[in-house]
Amino acid sequence: MALDAGLVGRSYPPSVVYEVGREKIAEFATAIGDPDPVYRDPAAARAAGHPDVIAPPTFAIVLSLGAGNVVLEDPDVAIDYSRVVHGEQKFVHHRPIRAGDRLVATASVEAVRSVAGNDMLTTRVDLATEDGEPVCRTSSMLVARGTA
Amino acid sequence: MAAVVRSADVEVGTELPEQVTPVTRADLVRYAGASGDFNVIHWNERVATEVGLPGVIAHGMLTAGLAARAVTAWAGDPGALVEYSVRFSRPVVVPDDGVGAELVVRGRVAAVLEDGRVRVDLTVTSGGEKVLSLARAVVALS
């Protein structure tokens, strides 16, 4: 079943606050095999001009994965999750995510397309501090194979 | 924020050091835990083959995260990577053979933008095949 083009622009309520912890950042950096001290050592991060340890550029996926589920759970979004693969991913960083950030994620539908029998759904997630400072925008394109 | 590489030292065609990274099943388990992506196709051979994959495959975002390392290590400050986009063109199959897969990341400066920013285009291969396409990073150099 093709996705309804009228979904584009639909926005969902903001997530609960996610507090970014130093240990979670270090765990993620280790998982991508990155030894950079700015992910682990507050002094090294400060020497590089950051207020605290920063997160790797792709760490934002941890938040956007969770926040994007609200779109997949929308009954109007007819997509078969068992047939979904990750097609594209984009990050735009207004500033690095850092330890101590209290972030709120807001998801919306950025685009829907059907190409050659495949449904494509692009979900945008805006990450901002709870005070409203924009931190990162992510776009995730999912492909549901053969469902259009 | 201060990248180590200066924009004055970079031109279109400047190449980044090549990065070769092994990817094992243990790496997939570790990334699943760290990212919260527990999709079974990244750790269960039976399910992966049932859904038509050649075997257990790496998380696309693990591949993308490993590829981004080549850029942040070159720039000298991960905070300098301001935009990053990838298309997952082919899965990285990670065999349970004690060796795993190997990811080769090459990058070159493809465009010099305004305000000391450059666009780096990445070529990411595993087993000689491109696994990411349109893999691009915008880096704010000092």
Q: What is the pLDDT of residues A4-37, one digit of tens each?
A: 889 999 999 999 999 999 999 999 999 999 999 9
Please tell me the total count of domains within chain A. Answer: 1
Interchain pair A56, B88: CB under 8 A: no
List, for residues B63-113, the tens digit of each pLDDT value: 999 999 999 999 999 999 999 999 999 999 999 999 999 999 999 999 999
Quote the pLDDT of residue B4.
79
Beta-carbon contacts below 8 Å between A and B: 107
Distance CA B117, CA B11 (A): 11
Quote the pLDDT of residue A120.
93
User: Tokens 């010099």 — which residue?
Assistant: B112
Q: What value does the mean pLDDT of chain B take?
A: 95
Q: Is residue A35 part of a domain?
A: no
Residue B2 has pLDDT above 70, yes or no: no
Residue B81 neighbours by CB under 8 Å, 6+ apart: A57, A93, B68, B71, B72, B75, B137, B138, B139
Query: pTM for this structure?
Result: 0.94
Average pLDDT over residues A122-143: 97
CATH number of B7-23+58-140: 3.10.129.10
Dihedral (C-alpha) A10, A16, A17, A23: value to the nearest 10 degrees? -110
Q: How far is A85 from chain B (nearest CA, A)?
A: 9
CATH number of the domain within which A68 lies: 3.10.129.10
Of chain A residues 51-110, which have a CB less than 8 A from chain B?
Answer: 54, 56-58, 61-62, 65-66, 82, 85-93, 95-96
Q: Is residue A11 part of a domain?
A: yes
Residue A112 has pLDDT above 90, yes or no: yes
What are the residues facing B107 on neighbouring strands? B122
Helix (H) or strand (E) holding A44: helix A42-47
Within 8 A of A88 by CB-CB distance, chain B residues are 85-88, 134
Quote the pLDDT of residue A147.
47
Quote the pLDDT of residue A116.
85
Among A41, A89, A135, most B C-beta atoms within 10 A, so best to mutate, is A89
- Confirm or reject contact between B43 and chain A (CB < 8 A): no
Range of the domain at A96: 5-21+55-144
Residue B20 has pLDDT above 80, yes or no: yes
